[in-house]
């Protein structure tokens, strides 16, 4: 639940909320395990049981493999094992719309990934080839209906909150990420 500091690809250090990202102790499971140890007279040292984990334990838990989405500049950086392996422009949530259409800032992780999904909302039903959600219904996906990405499109012509990508870019990102892969979004 603590904010994390992060140094962006442009060299700026920022502080971000964590969303559901990071390590969280499963208090119920730990309590039950401790009671069991006490009843059995076991003397031991044990790691806590976690209900949520991050890739790397430590100060920021992010590690050196992550997706970095610079929402102000509409540019995405993909890091794998400390190396920048890919970058692309994108279109994020529409800024002149309702709050739920604004892409959230924070540290998240890929919930799951799937191919050939149909994204549904109150006023749309859209098939996508690559779907990578990272915070509820917010995620990254291809947007074949767009002919331009980047710039200031998001200000008035942005998405419903997702990160819209060129299809080839979505395919590349999809090939690297996995469940739990960190996604850092910031303005």
Where on the phi/psi map is residue 57: left (φ > 0), alpha (ψ -120 to 50), or beta?
A: beta
Band the pLDDT of 148: cuts 50, 70, 90. very high
Residue located via tokens 């920048």: 84
Band the pLDDT of 1: cuts 50, 70, 90. low
Alpha-carbon distance of 148 to 88, in angstroms, equals 12
Band the pLDDT of 29: cuts 50, 70, 90. confident
Percent of the chain with pLDDT over 70: 98
If you ran DSSP here, which 8-state letter would residue 45 be given?
-
For position 111, what pLDDT does the model report?
Answer: 96
For position 55, what pLDDT does the model report?
Answer: 79
- Listed in sequence order, the residues at least 6 apart from 125 whose beta carbon sits closer than 8 Å to its beta carbon are 118, 119
For position 59, what pLDDT does the model report?
Answer: 65
Run of H or E including 21: none
Span 161-187, pLDDT tens digits: 999 999 999 999 999 999 999 999 999
Span 4-25, pLDDT tens digits: 899 999 999 999 987 778 777 7
pLDDT, mean of residues 145-153: 97
Alpha-carbon distance of 151 to 39, in angstroms, equals 63
pLDDT, mean of residues 86-92: 98
Run of H or E including 23: none
Question: Using CB atoms within 10 A of its CB, is residue 18 exposed (0-12), middle (13-18) or buried (19+)?
Answer: middle
> Does residue 119 surpass a pLDDT of 80?
yes
């Amino acid at each position: 639940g603590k904010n994390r500091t992060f140094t962006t690809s442009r060299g700026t250090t920022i502080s971000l909320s964590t969303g559901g990202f990071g390590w969280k102790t499963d208090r119920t499971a730990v309590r039950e395990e401790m009671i069991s140890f006490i009843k059995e007279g076991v003397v031991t040292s044990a790691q806590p049981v976690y209900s949520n984990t991050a890739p790397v334990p430590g100060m920021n838990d992010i590690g050196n493999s992550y997706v970095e989405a610079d929402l102000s500049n509409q540019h995405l950086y993909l890091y794998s094992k400390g190396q920048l392996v890919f970058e692309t422009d994108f279109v994020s949530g529409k800024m002149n719309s309702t709050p739920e259409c604004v892409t959230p800032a924070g540290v998240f992780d890929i919930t799951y990934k799937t191919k050939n999904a149909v994204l549904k909302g109150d006023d749309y039903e859209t098939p996508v080839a690559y779907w990578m959600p990272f915070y509820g219904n917010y995620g990254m996906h291809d947007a074949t209906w767009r002919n331009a990405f980047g710039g200031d499109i998001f200000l008035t012509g942005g998405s419903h909150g997702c990160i819209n990508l060129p299809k080839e870019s979505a395919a590349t990102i999809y090939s690297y990420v996995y469940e739990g892969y960190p996604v850092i979004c910031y303005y």
